[in-house]
Amino acid sequence: MYWKDYQDECKRPTKLFGRWLTTTFHNVKNRFSLRHGNHPMAPVNIRPRRLVDTMSIQLVEFDQKDTVPPYAVISHRWIHDEEVSFQEFMNPQEEIKSKPGYLKILAACQKARKDQLGYLWIDTCCIDKGDHADVKLNIRSMYAYYQNAQICYAYLVDVDRSDIWLKRFMDSEWFRRGWTLQELLAPRDVRFFDKEWRYIGTKVNLAMDISRITTIPEAVLTGQLSIRDIDPFQRMSWTIGRRTMRPPDGGYCLSGLLGVSMDPDYNETLRRSLERLWAAFINAYPQYKDALGLGVSLLDVLDNVRAESRKTESGRVSPNTLAIGWTAVGNISTKSPGQVAEHRGESPYSDRYQGTRHDCER
């Protein structure tokens, strides 16, 4: 299994080290201001150069010298064998037009037209997966794409508005994916739709419920507080419980959230992607390197910041072990996913923690 690289390579800190890191983390928070407004999250001029025309349902490419017009974006879960690739969309046959992924694009284009937007960006057909340079460019720029969009349509394929919708909404797998975190936070206007494209609500009017699901403060969701004013360690804690299908995406999906940039390399391990993310983070926030000292990895920080976040909210650390796609934390000590599963009597690296390949790809 592809999580084996984590199991083989990562050595978790001892309980004593976990306590030391917790103390150090408090020292960091006390020593440095939580405001990071001088560090831009994404340049306003970075926009996708390939968009779907919502009238003709054709891909349109813009030159670097062209001004990209206002556009909408889709946030969704990839369903295996149902999505439409760049090559398929360029020359859609009848069987392609009947795929759920193509119908999803048509429905989103209809919503965009009603919102007077002529263009739409979706990561299935607007990225040429066979072009490594195109993949790198889009992965590096994805946070900016969502941040600079006029509207983000969040499509929840596992929610039925006519059913007990609030429970379904709060249980949606959309809130468990790594990439959808930045797709929730980056856009100004996020609108949720159920599997039949019936309107559920916005990020703002559902802020209280979304905050309960994600632990993201309501003020951040409503725009009253900028994400740049949130300590980067707290931003990292919001990834707990989320997962990605490709191991290195565990690092890439955090880069935009932290305001750093890194090139994707899908030949690398999860551990290596997190090491490179940590290096980029330290480069952007050098003060944390001095405060934390040497030998502290991003995995260590992610483990302990979530434990401390839970402790702050409830007055004590929750006894429940919280799973993360690439690590886990229980009480103050840290455990690997295999140890967590073993503790619960489950198979290590089960579908509960990593998703299933037939279910979705991100």
Amino acid making up residue 158: D
Is the pLDDT confidence value at 314 over 70?
no
Q: What is the average pLDDT score of the chain? A: 76
Whole-angstrom distance, CA of residue 215 vs CA of residue 238: 7
Is the pLDDT confidence value at 341 over 70?
no
| DSSP annotation of 69 | P
Contacts of residue 96, defined as CB under 8 A and 6 or more positions apart, other chains included, come to 84, 88, 89, 102
Range of the domain at 326: 4-34+231-354
Least confident of 40-44, 138-142, 247-251: 40-44
Q: Of 181, 198, 222, which closes a domain?
A: 222
Q: What is the mean pLDDT of residues 118-127?
A: 98
98-113 per-residue burial string, b: 16 or more CB within 10 A, e: under 16: ebebbebbebbbebbe
Whole-angstrom distance, CA of residue 248 vs CA of residue 273: 5
- Structure-block tokens of residue 284: 């952007």
Residues 284 and 320 in one domain: yes
CA distances (Å), 120 to each of 44, 125, 246, 321, in order?
17, 11, 25, 40
Whole-angstrom distance, CA of residue 276 vs CA of residue 227: 22
Whole-angstrom distance, CA of residue 136 vs CA of residue 265: 8
Residues 260 and 150 in one domain: no
Q: Of 198, 222, 246, which closes a domain?
A: 222
Whole-angstrom distance, CA of residue 360 vs CA of residue 362: 6
The total of structural domains in the chain comes to 2
Amino acid making up residue 312: T
What is the pLDDT, as a whole number, of residue 291? 60
Strand 334-335 to strand 322-323: parallel, antiparallel, or no bridges (unpaired)? Answer: unpaired
- pLDDT band at residue 311 using 50, 70 and 90 as cut-offs: low
- Structure-block tokens of residue 109: 């284009």
Q: Which is higher by pLDDT, 262 or 150? A: 150
Residues 56 and 177 in one domain: yes
Return the residue matching tokens 């690092």. Answer: 251
Residues 77 and 17 in one domain: no
Is the pLDDT confidence value at 58 over 80?
yes
Whole-angstrom distance, CA of residue 207 vs CA of residue 25: 28
